Structure 1
């Protein structure tokens, strides 16, 4: 399968909702043998083939939603060799189940690439979803079913994030909120559990020039010296476009990294003393 650019990136819809920048053409041939296979047996072959092609597509600059679609062909190369693919129970594997498996495989691959690290264990599901969303759709609104599929690939139930979460539903569309869009009322939460919640709280404290609150939050949550936390912040900053407000906040927050913690608190106290003397 090949991704072929067929749509204008500057079309009006691009700034409001997500649209593919490419069409994916699949070249097929007739199956010559009638064979069946167990899904568990061919999964390693599918993963190898997907990775081979994703490496190629990544190097060619294919990204975002196009990247997910481009993996369908390579997976079908293996899956389509068989007249039927079954589970150990004897139940046939549907096309829907194959697509869910592909999305999960591509999500894991994309996260290791954009984070520049093969280790994802220290990053919770909500934060993985946020990263993938920003990389895939940026700030666009996306149809509910497409958003649900992306969330499902990393183990997130998007309906659980409504209300005080970072996911917003408007009619049939889903959008992901930045720290600024969540607003200062978000800081009233009793506890910040996910890494993205902690990062958003830090950005809002940074906007208030409250280094002391940043230091306390990072120390309380164990993220002051957590490399995974800082890598997530850096990665989100890198995938966002120039001029984006969240990108600017992240850059400012990251710039002050060395001043957080005990040193940061002392700096704030020293600045306050100078201010009072002045």
Structure 2
């Protein structure tokens, strides 16, 4: 990269093709560019890879190649971690929206956000915490992942398992993915491996060998008491409501929603709306959620009427 920097004009650009998702690989690339006097200003995913290419056997490879656009680096003074974090949050949120519109999903979507984010902290000589300790590139890349996943989750900020379910549906829909890739990618509510293992045991994924997919209502119907426990995740409560609707048990549905204070519980209905927008059209799950959303007000009125009909203590 030093030779590329020497040949690059002050207003010129240098392009690097990259197809890796690991933090270690990106850290090595970014540090090498910084040392050569270059910084990343943009990233463009391009689907140029053949499905049977040798690197496709490596779980760390991306579906698309990333064209990394570099320019001569003009690093200014040091910046606070708080300031850089706010800038990264804003840039990543914009990038997620743009790349999602382009059709990117999964690890490609997350890694494509690295470029714009690196452009933020590449403007500074170093990034420091309040106590003066430097923030290294791997920490900043983890910050980008977290910011991207928060941007995907959007306004829905429910419990960990429900957020994981929604983010997965947004990234992959109902298609099968490599289980190891999922562990690398999904980092919500702490350690990704722990989160994914908990979700697996909870029945949110159907695992088939090295592959996994999102568990749909047909898969979770076997859990007879789903959503009945106190403190059950919202996704369990939503699936319970969907099952009651599917079985045409309207009275039980009204009672369930009322007993669990879900009729006016905003996060519950936000999750339903969010999944309706990302699940495949024509699928059973989307149809059931659509029915619940369209009947929301009617269900609330029925519950209120039943409550009004209950005899008082002295009647």
- Indicate whether the TM-score tops 0.5: yes
Q: Are the structure 2 counterparts of residues 102 and 186 from structure 1 closer, same or farther at C-alpha, using a change threshold of 3 Å?
A: farther
Q: CA deviation at 1:125?
A: 2.0
Which residue in the other structure is 1:231 paired with?
270
The RMSD of aligned alpha carbons is: 3.4
Aligned to 2:188, which of 128, 142, 153?
153
1:173 matched to 2:215? The reply is: no
Q: Are the structure 2 counterparts of residues 38 and 146 from structure 1 closer, same or farther at C-alpha, using a change threshold of 3 Å?
A: farther
Which residue in the other structure is 2:112 paired with?
70
Deviations 1:7-39 (A, max 9, x none): 69xx89xxxxxx966543211134355865553
Q: Are the structure 2 counterparts of residues 35 and 176 from structure 1 closer, same or farther at C-alpha, using a change threshold of 3 Å?
A: same
Q: Are the structure 2 counterparts of residues 30 and 144 from structure 1 closer, same or farther at C-alpha, using a change threshold of 3 Å?
A: farther
SS in 2 for 1:29: strand
Q: Are the structure 2 counterparts of residues 207 and 264 from structure 1 closer, same or farther at C-alpha, using a change threshold of 3 Å?
A: farther
**1:7-18 to 2 correspondence within 5 Å?**
none
**1:97-246 to 2 correspondence within 5 Å?**
97-112=139-154, 118=155, 120-121=156-157, 123-155=158-190, 157-187=195-225, 190-191=228-229, 193-246=232-285
Aligned to 1:255, which of 294, 299, 302?
294
Matched positions, count: 252
Q: CA deviation at 1:75?
A: 0.6
TM-score by length of 1: 0.74
Distance in 2, Cα, partners of 1:190 & 1:227 = 19
Higher CA-based Rg:
2
Does the 8 Å CA contact 1:144/1:172 hold for their aligned counterparts? yes
More strand by share: 2
Unaligned runs of 5+ in 2: 1-41, 53-60, 307-315
1:3 matched to 2:3? The reply is: no
1:81 matched to 2:123? The reply is: yes
Distance in 2, Cα, partners of 1:158 & 1:85 = 32
Q: Are the structure 2 counterparts of residues 214 and 265 from structure 1 closer, same or farther at C-alpha, using a change threshold of 3 Å?
A: farther
Unaligned runs of 5+ in 1: 13-18, 113-117, 268-278
Q: CA deviation at 1:158?
A: 1.7
Distance in 1, Cα, partners of 2:87 & 2:201 = 42
Distance in 1, Cα, partners of 2:121 & 2:80 = 10
Deviations 1:82-133 (A, max 9, x none): 4554545666544432222112111222222xxxxx4x45x22221111111
Deviations 1:241-269 (A, max 9, x none): 222221122223333334425626989xx
Q: Report the more deviating stretch, 26-35 or 170-179.
A: 26-35
Does the 8 Å CA contact 1:179/1:201 hold for their aligned counterparts? no
Does the 8 Å CA contact 1:128/1:154 hold for their aligned counterparts? no
Which residue in the other structure is 1:274 paired with?
none
Does the 8 Å CA contact 1:6/1:23 hold for their aligned counterparts? yes
Does the 8 Å CA contact 1:211/1:265 hold for their aligned counterparts? no
